[in-house]
Structures are given as structure tokens and as C-alpha cells.
Amino acid sequence: MGDVVPFRKPDRKRKSEGKTLCRHGLHKWKAAGETRFDVKQGKLVTLYRCARCGKETTALT
């Protein structure tokens, strides 16, 4: 007979850690890099990246 391998389900808590807030729109925005100048709008634009999920957005400075 072969070895018996125990099967354990992954913890729900660890699997979805930090992602549930982002799913509800509560991101943790951090400035990523430096500000850039948008030529079309004529304004400074800052790139923000979520520390939890990695989603990116821009905002006028």
C-alpha cells in the first residue's frame, strides 16, 4: 500500500487576506513613483498603486 497523504482545505482567512477590503472599494493607495506632466490636460498627474491588490489609478495633483 502507498502512503496516506492527509488533505487539508486552505484556510479561508489566509486565502482572502487583504483582498476583501479591496473588493468593496476600500483600497490602500500609495504613491508609486514620481509625478508626471500630462500634456493634454496641462496638469501634474500622480500614479497611485494599491498596496494590497496592485490596482493602479491616477489623480491630478
Residue-range domain boundaries for the chain: 28-61
The pLDDT, as a whole number, for residue 31 is 94
Alpha-carbon span 51 to 42, nearest angstrom:
28
The pLDDT, as a whole number, for residue 13 is 67
The proportion of the chain whose per-residue pLDDT surpasses 70, expressed as a percent, equals 85
Q: Is the pLDDT of residue 2 over 90?
A: no
Mean pLDDT check: name the lowest of 20-24, 49-53, 54-58. Answer: 20-24
SS (H, E, C) the chain: CCCCCCCCCCCHHHHCCCHHHHHCCCCCEEECCCCEEECCCCEEEEEEEECCCCCEEEEEC
Alpha-carbon span 38 to 33, nearest angstrom:
15
pTM of the shown model? 0.64
